[in-house]
Structure 1
């Protein structure tokens, strides 16, 4: 009989936490011997997943006096890319993405510099290898920092691939095949997700890469086809274009699904003006490697039904992500998942269908796939499990930014969502096209620099959503997010003094409504 740990719900206190009794192991002496051979260890809290949410949860619980372990294992991508502790954000997401976005923005500043009197050669070459090495070294420093933080907080770290044995125990397999059994009173699943491959397309797996690989390439990807319309697709295409690489985006349908669609259109318009090429209403059929090493991509134009083809050095798939839940053996313990998305079903307390097993972050159904929400959800969960708080995570009015060449920051409802929820007659949208001062001397096109504030029409006109397209969008949106979180009204925003001259001050000057039909172009201070 397989070794099984039995937790006894004994001596329950007011906090609802359990105290350990000596585990009863099925199988007698043989079962105990198996446990010992596997190096079984017991914990108050076991976190499966070493990304932002899981680490935040583990460190918080440890600081509150619990015995905590984290298990994390990165399955190499089909291309063979692997990385260290820290999850998607640190290794193949937010951090390297923002740094490469910054590298691209610097290229634009170099082009602007002569207008401001700097004698800079216009054909300044970019060295991908040098940039990649600097970015990768910084990421590795973060990997090490997370290891040190866990050690400082006495959190035990296991680099093993975990799956459930029973409701309180997981089996971990190390790279060399060594097995470890870990049991815990509470288990948190924070395994995140990985990029989706279109396995039905010939050559997709063999010849394509994903965001798991692009940030770890030693050499420039060269002429690149980015397939997808997600924020990952547009962000990657944006910085590749900014680094002066020939870049094409192939989109089957609309860009930035789930975001405000007027803003999404402006994002892609600006990208096109900067040199990114778009193949709209197209879907790839196959990818073949030519004798010279280039990739020949054949696609279908969904409007005409005709096939076309082109050659590229790199094909980057950015068609969505799938949660890392399939290998956890969740069905063994009765943790329910959405059969379509494979994400774990959770309630407001982040609890799964098994009361002492929780899920946070990208692996949980209905949660924003954003690092800060996973971190806060993890910390609050740890505080509740330790009896320190009863606060639940509030997933409303979560701000975010898409780091495309012209950044798009937003918080609250899109215009479409506001109309669907409240009715068009009850929604007022204030908007403005503006020109950042930074764009003037360099004579940059500001056609897509745009702000809109979505409000209830009835006074005091509660702000439902804010959408900002322009430089430093994240920095602008972060501040206004507090006001919207606190229930700001349009009248209050209009009484807020702007900081002059900034782009952010334009939010506090939104006087023209869409309903008025007046020209929303800002023409002066």
Structure 2
């Protein structure tokens, strides 16, 4: 049985890219529908990614503070215990509330939501399997693919959903693992490792490369490594997990490093080596949509149009960092282009955040990239140990690092490791967007006492540095 409907735009996927694009499209006068295969809206980010992980990070940080730090502030609590079920229930409520908000947002903007599995048999047509042998056909002028990504599964480390798991299952363990192994030292692994370490797990991170969080500025990455080790995380670098198998409810993993091997036993093994575009079943190969042969990402032009007219793609499906806020910006830009407006995204000013504690946030070029590009530069830095607000909170680990062009003083990169870094980076993104100089930041009055004063101090120090060239 088939039903037909006509739209200006059909968006496949209701994550941060899809739902933001839908609202902007209706503002521009486009009759819009959103197709979502899951029962709840919000995509990976709201349901099994950004939001639930941050809810657990905050909850586990409170638990850690209550157990380890309250006494130094003069707070006596008695014995502190963990109610994991309650913690997970709160996380689920946060997710449910936000996904419901997305539903209301789309409904309030007159956007039709169709639940089911979508495929694109041809440009201008979206078929939705809504279950019970019922298919809905949506006719449309434009199609926006915004289906996001999924965890990469590694041969020999296949997910079983209980012992060898992806990030999705690692958000819902029914008990704190005695020993949690993590394959991959990227953002996701470090964040989830932090959660379970605070709640009582022994955590071992196995990374093939010689350092963790490889995209970070080198100085920041080394500092993060040191701080996480101090918190109790263990790292095995230059090490590969060859295979893993479940034996008597434990995971036995074979590790290889420098030609030698060893076996480690874990209660759970989180495989977090990256994500890949989720395009299964869409029919992009049959349509002839061009993709990158190495990554599988869909190639688009400056308007986010694929190689097939009338079909666009954004977010994790296309090249660039797999970040929710990148997808949202691209969703807005893509529909503006469809509507004949000048939509674009400045990829040089997309912030990245690692929600460990302390947090790490960055925007722009790293010091290593400055050297590779042979750009003359100056660096100014300031430790949080010198900031009054950080002292008051007892959060003095980390620093702010600001990189400016050696001749023009224009800010080209900012890297922060410390408390509230995720919020502080917004000022830095704005500075890059407006082409600000370090002097602009240094002469901007910052409230006292605040964490942001450390940024102002770092900017002041830029002007004292010598000019480095490669």
Q: 1:112 aligns with which of 58, 69, 73?
A: 69
Aligned equivalent of 2:295: 341
Distance 1:443 1:59 in 2: 42
- Native 8 Å contact 1:49 1:71 kept in 2: yes
Residue 189 of structure 1: CA displacement? 0.5
- Write out aligned runs for 1:211-226 (5 A): 211-226=167-182
Aligned equivalent of 1:197: 153
Distance 1:203 1:232 in 2: 18
Between Structure 1 and Structure 2, whose CA radius of gyration is higher? 1
Distance 1:506 1:205 in 2: 46
Aligned equivalent of 1:430: 380
Q: Given the alignment of the two structures, is residue 454 of structure 1 paired with residue 403 of structure 2, yes or no?
A: yes
Q: 2:118 aligns with which of 147, 151, 162?
A: 162
Q: Given the alignment of the two structures, is residue 53 of structure 1 paired with residue 22 of structure 2, yes or no?
A: no
Aligned equivalent of 2:85: 129
- Native 8 Å contact 2:390 2:419 kept in 1: no
TM-score by length of 2: 0.92
- Native 8 Å contact 1:325 1:343 kept in 2: no
Aligned equivalent of 1:369: 322
- SS at 1:476 equivalent: helix
Runs of 4+ in 1 over 6 A off after TM superposition: 441-444
Distance 1:357 1:383 in 2: 14
Relative to structure 1, the CA distance from residue 441 to residue 66 in structure 2 (aligned partners, 3 Å threshold; closer, same or farther) is: closer
- Native 8 Å contact 2:15 2:45 kept in 1: yes
Show CA shifts across 1:234-278 (max 9, x none).
111112212222211111113222221221121121111011111
Q: Given the alignment of the two structures, is residue 65 of structure 1 paired with residue 29 of structure 2, yes or no?
A: yes
Q: 1:503 aligns with which of 429, 451, 459?
A: 451
Distance 1:480 1:50 in 2: 29
Aligned equivalent of 1:381: 334
Aligned equivalent of 1:3: none
Aligned equivalent of 1:357: 311
Aligned equivalent of 2:205: 249
Q: Given the alignment of the two structures, is residue 310 of structure 1 paired with residue 310 of structure 2, yes or no?
A: no
- SS at 1:234 equivalent: helix
Residue 439 of structure 1: CA displacement? 6.2
Distance 1:484 1:65 in 2: 32
Distance 2:242 2:352 in 1: 33
Residue 164 of structure 1: CA displacement? 1.6
- Write out aligned runs for 1:9-158 (5 A): 37-74=1-38, 84-110=40-66, 111-121=68-78, 123-158=79-114
Q: Which runs of 5+ in 1 are unaligned?
A: 1-36, 75-82, 518-525
- Native 8 Å contact 1:136 1:216 kept in 2: no
- Native 8 Å contact 1:496 1:508 kept in 2: yes
- Write out aligned runs for 1:192-341 (5 A): 192-198=148-154, 200-201=155-156, 204-205=159-160, 207-253=163-209, 254-291=211-248, 293-300=249-256, 302-303=257-258, 305-341=259-295
Aligned equivalent of 1:391: 343
Q: What is the count of residue pairs matched by the alignment? A: 461
TM-score by length of 1: 0.83
Residue 357 of structure 1: CA displacement? 0.9
Distance 2:91 2:208 in 1: 32
- Native 8 Å contact 1:72 1:161 kept in 2: yes
Show CA shifts across 1:102-136 (max 9, x none).
11221343222211211123x52222211111111
Distance 1:317 1:172 in 2: 32
Q: Given the alignment of the two structures, is residue 476 of structure 1 paired with residue 424 of structure 2, yes or no?
A: yes
Distance 1:394 1:441 in 2: 37
Aligned equivalent of 1:403: 355
Distance 2:175 2:148 in 1: 28
Residue 438 of structure 1: CA displacement? 6.3
Residue 354 of structure 1: CA displacement? 1.6
Distance 1:102 1:491 in 2: 35
Relative to structure 1, the CA distance from residue 443 to residue 378 in structure 2 (aligned partners, 3 Å threshold; closer, same or farther) is: closer
Residue 380 of structure 1: CA displacement? 2.8
- SS at 1:40 equivalent: strand
- Native 8 Å contact 1:322 1:342 kept in 2: yes
Per residue, is there more strand in 1 or in 2? 2
- Native 8 Å contact 2:381 2:457 kept in 1: no
- Native 8 Å contact 1:498 1:506 kept in 2: no
Relative to structure 1, the CA distance from residue 244 to residue 439 in structure 2 (aligned partners, 3 Å threshold; closer, same or farther) is: farther
Residue 472 of structure 1: CA displacement? 0.8
Distance 1:343 1:326 in 2: 12
Distance 1:175 1:284 in 2: 40
Residue 478 of structure 1: CA displacement? 1.2
Residue 432 of structure 1: CA displacement? 2.8
